Structure 1
């Protein structure tokens, strides 16, 4: 077996042992047990047992308790009930009522029981109190002797708390009592023989022993069987139609009185009373439909058989057949389970066997996938050693296409294309120029003329090119001579047919991957997700691949890009003549030298890098065009130039002035004037202000949401107001704050406070002495808003659109002497954008300006 074949030799053991291990681990959980119980419940509830017509129930219900008084009733009352039922023709009377304590009316009840002859009484097994051994609670001796039979009234609850069956025999030590239903069935038919114990077995008399568990197929939920009120039966005349020849069960059904048993039909929503469960048990016993669980050995053997079948068959099947087999096995097991319960009345737990095909299908599918994945990864690794670009063979080009692409790629002075003796296309080149006896599938170059003689589609073609003297003819002719014109069929194999198993499928994939071109995967996956636009052309400059960036930037659908000459695409979006695009691409291909050219598409700046390539396997050539979006870089360069200009003028100017004043003071240290010191201070403050604005703007541009936290807008505004209040006081300007509501934001409080300070500082600078600046903090919908309004001179309408541009100062500011760096409002705009907010400006000349900031609040208050 080679390394590329599927290792199926040990597939049987691998799959079989894996299934067995999983199945054994599942036995540590309750999953198989829950599945078995669920399957049983689903079947029993959808196919309930038939209601027996010889069973009736006399219920001690709420109405009986109201009419006959509180419990316990006199045993003479029960004796009267027996007489009424005897007069009505009841065959057997079964009491689900305990009579463990002696009573004065025992003799009356015993006489009524003897008179009827078939009255069965219950016994109960329980410890007298917590911590004591279990004891038997029998009817009084008088009643026990008068009864036709005694039976235990215990119903078994499964681990999920539901009552599905009972033990036919239960007792202490070797003395076992039949169940109430079994005792009733044996009344009049002879005594029921309990199971025999080995003679050498010794069981203590206090050990609770149970034997012969059976599941009871219920006829339905509560009140499925005919039910008659105890009081109505007792106080009404005998009713032979209801009770003649029937087995009558007497027991409590009133809520909170008697047994409450959840069943598969209703759980605890509508529980079944104990007397109803015993009535169902008797009906199933009489009809021989009690369901007997099979031993665990049978279920284990069934599971092992399914494991052997699955482990043997799955490795030999195709995936669809695997699914069909697993589905068929599961359906067959369910059919077997249903048939055994409904027909043979045998309950074989099939959960373990059913889990085998359900687990085997995904397990074996995962193994198939893992093996296939390893194989494909190995093949892709081998293919990666010799990458090549998937291009259309030049031998597949029609001569008309070939001429079209060559004219687009090279600047030609003329051309000629002939089919047999018919001229298809010509320009500045006649058929008389065709040299005699041209060889097939090879370029012939004579001076500046190049000729090609090829056969396509049972036709003979002659192609001639006239190269201009301005182009390097030798380089073009050398390039044409290298082009492969005949198809290489040596490596074109055929797929071998084989059976549809996993080994054959992998072999077919291996053969296909040998013929795949390695760079196809690179183009389709890697190029598609590169940050730059990628175009791959063949040796004629025809686009063979373009990623999504090209489709987006050029606004061209990708199907129309494939097969389009690259020169035509570039010339159509960025026309140029010096040099022309075809000249740039032709030099790239013929001289095998990379080119980098600026490109502008739809108002955006790009850089296109053209790089030739050659495939080592097919000797095909072409070029890769890498197009990078440098719009943002150009914008940064523009900003950088503006910053340099600003620094060279605005920053340099106060520093030069400071140095001049310092030199002057050094020359005349004794003649220091106060005005000179004040001027020096102003210049220093201006230098500091410029540096501070640069620092703050840089911090704002680097702000990310990782530095956001909960902050309150009104507190931010109050702190900003306190920072500029001295400046406002110097001009006798009043700062009026309006806002009393806490508005919580998700942001950076320090930078937001600087934003408010900048707005207030501008308002103070451009406001007249004695005016008022209004600061409003309020909520509008889910937005926290701040409005700063002044009564200054206002802003000219033509200057409003440029307020937030860098290094942009208002003309009025320069004339008024309020000189700044032009970065304050730019900082404000950057910070607000980082907080996903917006800023609006309203201004009227001569009346003032209003700046409004809107920011999303952290937890919007519902309307």
Structure 2
């Protein structure tokens, strides 16, 4: 059965997803076992669990160590064989006779002490290590013969010693792929392992019976290494030769004599090497093998088939647990299943001395949890996608109800009812009832030209229209994140007290955005509460744009200021000069000429003010006449007009331009007048004989690259504050002009980065690219 989109209906059923997941997991488990995947991790887990179970040494095993102090006191290495003979002679007394002695030493060359050593070996249960000849490899595996002497072509040993010793044992170790020794071969051709040979030589019935059980074994046997922090009973050869040693110290003990000095190199990597940071002497490895053999607790490794069967069963049980549980608990069920599987392996190891390779199963279970989550997620996505397609086609949302199962099958199958399917069923019902109304309301909200935002009872942002989002970007609020901005952030950005903002519905609150270097924008801030069903309280924020009317009001106030004060000053000066001119004698032409010049100057000033009034009105009006031009051309025009005033005040104008061409799109008349206003301010506030520096440079803005124009001039001891109106049209005209061009105005008096008596003004105007 397929739907309108061609997707098979069976994807909606969790039982199918469970079956697909189980089959994939079982196949992956078989492949991992066949490829021996995770072998290194399996060995690491084995070492960890073996060490966690703890294993201590038997008290009847004694190691006689040949350590560095012994070698120093007895003339260096190799030691004279008479020292070994002296030790063995002390053990030959009935009161000090051990059960068996293992000499983990190679006697290859003949010495003068061989006869003495042979006499000491004759009556003791001594086992010597098997020493194969390099040119004569051991023959193929055959039935061992523990009590037989080694053939002449299998080892090199002085004849006197060979006649005195009856038993030999091999000391070969088996290494795993990570270079660590965890097992031994019980038998090689003609010889068992030295530990087993010692048990055979001891004539102890219990030990002999344990050896006979392994006499025909050709497989490797894993043994537990004794914890080095506990260790075996150890005595150095130097102390063992001390006459004050107890006469029955070695009575009925298993004695191993071997080298423990690190300088002699008989050290091997074991499970404890990674912890202690040091390898283990070979004599202690033989002691651990002997310890394991006497306890009869060899570790058996399950073959691949039983391990794989255990893994298949556990994977199936885990898949059922995933199926029965809520999909959100997948990553809780999976670790629990892994821990339980490790617990089973630990139980087998500690109670039954059996190890199963569970690492492939652990990897598959981890994969299965993620795969099951992905399958259920894909099912949910497919269901929602089908419903979305139906919604776009104006079809009613319909989803099959969960079947009501009969009583006979309800107990087993009710847990299999898909939780995701039931959740989607309820969500679709609710969404269908509300989506049309919400879509209509949101469409109306987006079409409102005024900025509007809605916040919840906790003042968190719910929604807003495009006008509000655009204003929020100008206010440098975070609009792109999932959390947006809250009510408090908006109020702080508008510089309104929170208490006043919460009660702004009762009275109008006017806000200005001039502090953000924006064109002078003015809004009326209002808030109102929306309550629904006595549960939801929403806060509606609206901003009514009154920029146009506010600019007209500003122009009116400035016109009155020009007419009432600024323009009256030069007119009054002209009238006063006229009266003075009438009183001057006619024959005093220099004074008449000076008075006429002052009249002309004041008249020109009056004309400049009238022209400035027109320019100031142009800066406040809405449209701008933008033209692409170079910053250098604008500065040349401004400097040319300001040069006469600079010459009059004996101030030099120095232009420092960047090599880069800075092209901007501006109203050239307004920008030149703003630059001229700043130059007039710098000249009039500057010190006679000083230099006004004008420099240009590219500047990296927050949104786009800028062209920066800087003006620096010394201002003497009288430091005007940052709110000084300046000369000409004033700094307010400059700020308005720059903000209308999306630029930024910077003023710092004094400019401490250079000099405390230096003023610094910077204009940032966006660069224009053709």
Provide TM-score, normalisation by structure 1: 0.52
Q: 2:29, 2:312 within 8 Å by CA — same for their partners in 1?
A: no
**Aligned pair 1:108/2:126, yes or no?**
no
Out of 148, 166, 187, which is 2:201 matched to?
Answer: 187
Partner residue, 1:615: none
1:57 and 2:63 equivalent? yes
Listed as ranges, the matches of 1:800-815 within 5 Å are 800-801=723-724, 808=730
**In structure 2, which of residues 147, 166, 173 is the aligned counterpart of residue 155 of structure 1?**
173
CA 1:275/1:698 → structure 2, altered by over 3 Å: closer, same or farther? farther
Does residue 84 of structure 2 align to residue 78 of structure 1? yes
- Matches of residues 322-721 of structure 1 in structure 2 within 5 Å? 326=334, 329-383=337-391, 499-503=414-418, 505-516=420-431, 517-519=434-436, 534=452, 547=464, 551=487, 572=506, 574=508, 605=522, 695-696=630-631
Kept in 2, the 8 Å contact 1:829–1:839? The answer is no
Counterpart in the other structure of 2:104: 96
**1 or 2, which has the higher helix percentage?**
2
What is the rounded CA distance, in whole Å, between the counterparts of 1:347 and 1:633 in structure 2? 86
How far off is 1:150 after superposition?
A: 1.6
Secondary structure, aligned partner of 1:242 = coil
1:137 to 1:787, Cα distance in 2 relative to 1, 3 A: farther
2: CA distance, partners of 1:532 / 1:125: 99
Whole-Å Cα distance in 2 between the matches of residues 156 and 629 of structure 1? Answer: 87
Superposition deviation, residue 67 in structure 1: 1.0
Q: How does 1:674-823 map to 2 (within 5 A)?
A: 695-696=630-631, 767=686, 770-771=689-690, 790=714, 796-797=720-721, 800-801=723-724, 808=730
> Given that residues 651 and 692 in structure 2 are in contact (C-alpha distance below 8 angstroms), is that contact kept between their aligned partners in structure 1?
no
Greater fraction of residues in strand: 1
The 2-side partners of 1:350 and 1:774 are apart by 80
In the alignment, is the contact (CA less than 8 A) between 2:524 and 2:546 conserved in 1? no
* TM superposition shift of 1:826: 9.0
Structure 1 Cα separation of the partners of residues 731 and 356 of structure 2: 92
Cα distance, 1:842 vs. partner? Answer: 6.8
Report what 1:259 is aligned to.
Answer: 266
Looking at structure 1, the residues matched to 449 and 84 of structure 2 have their Cα atoms a distance apart, in angstroms, of 94
RMSD in angstroms over aligned alpha carbons? 6.0
1:7-156 matched pairs, under 5 angstroms: 7-8=13-14, 10-23=16-29, 32-87=38-93, 88-116=96-124, 118-124=125-131, 138-156=156-174
1-side partners of 2:168 and 2:634: how far apart? 94
1:173-184 matched pairs, under 5 angstroms: 175=189, 177-184=191-198
1:169 to 176, 180, 187: 187
Change in Cα spacing, 1:823 to 1:380, as seen in structure 2 (3 Å) is: closer
Q: Using the alignment, how far apart are the partners of 1:160 and 1:276 within structure 2?
A: 20
Instruction: Classify 1:335/1:507 alpha carbon distance in 2 versus 1 (closer, same or farther; 3 Å).
Output: closer
The whole-number CA distance in structure 2 between the counterparts of 1:853 and 1:162 is 76
Q: Deviations over 1:192-237 (max 9, x none)?
A: 789999xxxxxxxxxxxx9422222122115611110111112334
Corresponding residue to 1:851 among 750, 759, 763: 759
Structure 2 gap ranges (5+): 4-8, 137-152, 406-413, 456-460, 465-483, 493-501, 515-520, 526-538, 557-624, 636-642, 665-674, 695-709, 763-770
Query: CA offset at residue 601 of structure 1?
Result: 9.3
Give the whole-Å Cα distance in 2 for the aligned partners of 1:328 and 1:165: 32
Cα distance in 1, alignment partners of residues 256 and 45 from structure 2: 30
Contact 1:95 1:120 in 2 (8 A): yes
With a CA cutoff of 8 Å and minimum separation of 6, indicate the structure with the bigger relative contact order.
2
Query: Is the 2:750–2:759 Cα contact (8 Å) retained in structure 1?
Result: yes
Contact 2:651 2:683 in 1 (8 A): no
Deviates more, 1:303-312 or 1:56-65: 303-312
Look up the match of 1:236. 243
Q: Give, in angstroms, the shift of residue 246 of structure 1.
A: 0.6
> Is contact 1:787-1:852 (8 Å) kept?
yes
- Aligned position for 1:218: 225
- Counterpart of 1:6? 12
1:751: how far off?
Answer: 10
| Other-structure match for 2:560 | none
Residues 251 and 550 (structure 1 numbering): CA distance in 2 closer, same or farther, change over 3 Å? closer
Matches of 2:33 and 2:441 in 1, distance apart? Answer: 49
Quote the Cα distance in structure 2 between the aligned partners of 1:14 and 1:699. Answer: 75
Map Cα deviations across residues 320-358 of structure 1 (whole Å, 9 max, x no partner): 786786566444433331222222212221222333433
Structure 2: distance between partners of 1:97 and 1:307: 51
Q: For residues 637 and 271 of structure 1, do their structure 2 counterparts lie closer, same or farther at Cα, with a shift above 3 Å needed?
A: farther
User: In the alignment, is the contact (CA less than 8 A) between 1:123 and 1:139 conserved in 2?
Assistant: no
Partners of 1:169 and 1:211 within 8 A in 2 = yes
1:271 matched to 2:262 = no
Residues 60-104 of structure 1, C-alpha deviation per residue, up to 9 Å, x if partnerless? 112111211210011222121211233322221111112233333
1:580 alignment partner in structure 2 = none
- CA distance in 1 between partners of 2:191 and 2:131 (Å): 10
Is the Cα contact below 8 Å between 1:534 and 1:550 reproduced in 2? no
Provide the secondary structure at the position in 2 that maps to 1:264: coil
Q: Deviations over 1:516-557 (max 9, x none)?
A: 2225776999989x99855689xxxxxx9865779469869x
Does 2:758 correspond to 1:841?
Answer: no
For the residues of structure 2 that align with 1:523 and 1:147, how far apart are their CA atoms? Answer: 104
What is the distance in 2 between the residues matched to 1:639 and 1:336?
Answer: 86
CA distance in 2, matches of 1:637, 1:572: 26
- The 3 A distance-change label for structure 1 pair 348 and 841 is same
The Cα of 1:114 is off from its aligned counterpart by: 1.1
Task: Answer whether contact 1:56 1:249 (CA < 8 A) is retained.
Answer: yes
Alpha-carbon contact 1:807-1:822 (below 8 Å) kept: no
SS at the partner of 2:231? coil
User: Is contact 2:239–2:245 with CA below 8 Å preserved after alignment?
Assistant: no
The separation in 2 between residues aligned to 1:93 and 1:229, in whole angstroms, is: 15
In the TM superposition, residue 43 of structure 1 has moved relative to its aligned partner by 2.0
Alignment deviations for residues 5-34 of structure 1 (CA, whole Å, 9 cap, x no partner)? 723454354112321454466569986223
- What secondary structure sits across from 2:12 in the alignment? coil
What is the Cα deviation at residue 288 of structure 1? 0.3
Name the CA distance, whole Å, in 2 between partners of 1:306 and 1:250: 48
Decide whether the 8 Å contact of 2:692 with 2:711 is kept in 1.
no
Q: Would you say the 8 A contact 2:17–2:375 is kept in 1?
A: no
Note if 1:285 corresponds to 2:322: no
- Does the aligned pair in 2 maintain the 1:148–1:188 contact within 8 Å? no
When structure 1 is superposed on structure 2, of 310-319 and 150-159 the one drifting more is 310-319
Q: How many residues align?
A: 560
